[in-house]
Amino acid sequence: MLAATVGGFLATTVGALPALFVGSLSERTANAMLAFAAGVMLAATVFSLLLPGLELAQPMFGGPKPGAAAVVAAMMAGGLAMFAIHHFLPHEHFEKGHEGPGRQSRLARVWLFVFAIAVHNFPEGLSMGVGAASGDERIGLGVTLGIGLQNLPEGLAVAMSLAALGYSRAQALGVAALTGLIEIAGAMAGAGLLSISQALLPLALAFAGGTMLFVISDEVIPETHRAGFGDSATASLFVGFGLMFYLDVALA
């Protein structure tokens, strides 16, 4: 598990490193990078979390229908958990602005961005922790590869967006690296869940998938379409989804 989570942290940090040297990214390019990351996340959610969870749940719950019902219930629970965190944690987005309680919060704006990115990245770490602790190399590799791959463009897009808002390049890189550490915390939570009982694996996979779906639908996709570049963002999402789909099959 440690190698997987450190890999996710390093991917975020490496992805953000060009922010120290690159002048700026156009808004269209930043949106396309985040949309590509969303496509990869979506494919990893389906092929490395939900479908393996369903496969494991069917014999455990007595057939396809009860197995699917259990997976859907756990997926919904993951989404509801993220909804609660999103609702009660004050945070700020690059396009949507402030969300959550305390619109007049005294917290420095950069920390509100950190909290927003934490809402994104904790579920990714949770998924890596569950995948790594599953004991199934295919599940662990798929989740780790998908999240590591999407962390590269996401790290750069986040760092460049912070730099464009007036934060120093070093500060922008530091925030991006901090988001990688948040993934490690999420991974520890996911592995801790399975340490209770391996019988929880199908539900843990589906729960992690639900948290990822919430982030993709409520956070990433709306953010990439808000600036008026919906066509390029949609195309980039398809590319990310297709690439992860292919890699999942090729590395099976």
**Locus of tokens 């690059």:** 94
pLDDT of residue 157: 76
For residue 24, what are its two tokens? 């700026």
pLDDT of residue 152: 82
Q: Which of 4-8, 162-166, 208-212 has the lowest mean pLDDT?
A: 4-8
| Local structure of 91: helix, strand or coil | strand
Using CA atoms, how far apart are residues 126 and 190, in angstroms rounded to an integer?
A: 5
**Locus of tokens 């396309």:** 32
Using CA atoms, how far apart are residues 200 and 75, in angstroms rounded to an integer?
A: 13
Confidence of residue 106 (pLDDT cuts 50, 70, 90): very low
Confidence of residue 56 (pLDDT cuts 50, 70, 90): very high
Q: What is the pTM of this model?
A: 0.82
Confidence of residue 8 (pLDDT cuts 50, 70, 90): low
Give which of 172, 97, 84, 175 is closest to 123, Cα–Cα.
84
Range with top average pLDDT, 22-31, 44-53, 133-142, 147-156: 44-53
**Locus of tokens 């939570």:** 189
* Residue 154 near residue 146 (C-beta atoms within 8 A): no
- Residue 85 pLDDT > 90: no
| Structural domain count, the chain | 1
Confidence of residue 93 (pLDDT cuts 50, 70, 90): low
The CA–CA distances, whole Å, from 9 to 36, 126, 161, 197 equal 19, 13, 19, 27
Confidence of residue 98 (pLDDT cuts 50, 70, 90): low
pLDDT of residue 218: 82
pLDDT of residue 127: 86
Confidence of residue 102 (pLDDT cuts 50, 70, 90): low
Confidence of residue 177 (pLDDT cuts 50, 70, 90): confident
Q: pLDDT tens across 121-154, in order?
A: 788 888 888 887 777 777 777 788 888 888 888 7
The CA–CA distances, whole Å, from 12 to 61, 96, 112, 165, 241 equal 38, 23, 19, 20, 19
The amino acid sitting at 122 is F
Confidence of residue 245 (pLDDT cuts 50, 70, 90): very high
* Residue 172 near residue 48 (C-beta atoms within 8 A): no
For residue 139, what are its two tokens? 């599940």
Using CA atoms, how far apart are residues 76 and 94, in angstroms rounded to an integer?
A: 27
What contacts 24+ positions apart, CB below 8 Å, involve 170-174? 170/20, 171/110, 172/16, 172/19, 173/13, 173/16, 173/17, 173/19, 173/20
List the beta bridge partners of residue 158.
Answer: none
- The overall average pLDDT reported for the chain is 80
Quote the domain boundaries for residue 146. 2-19+26-250
- Residue 51 pLDDT > 90: yes
Of 1 and 184, the structure prediction assigns the larger pLDDT to: 184
Of 165 and 240, the structure prediction assigns the larger pLDDT to: 240
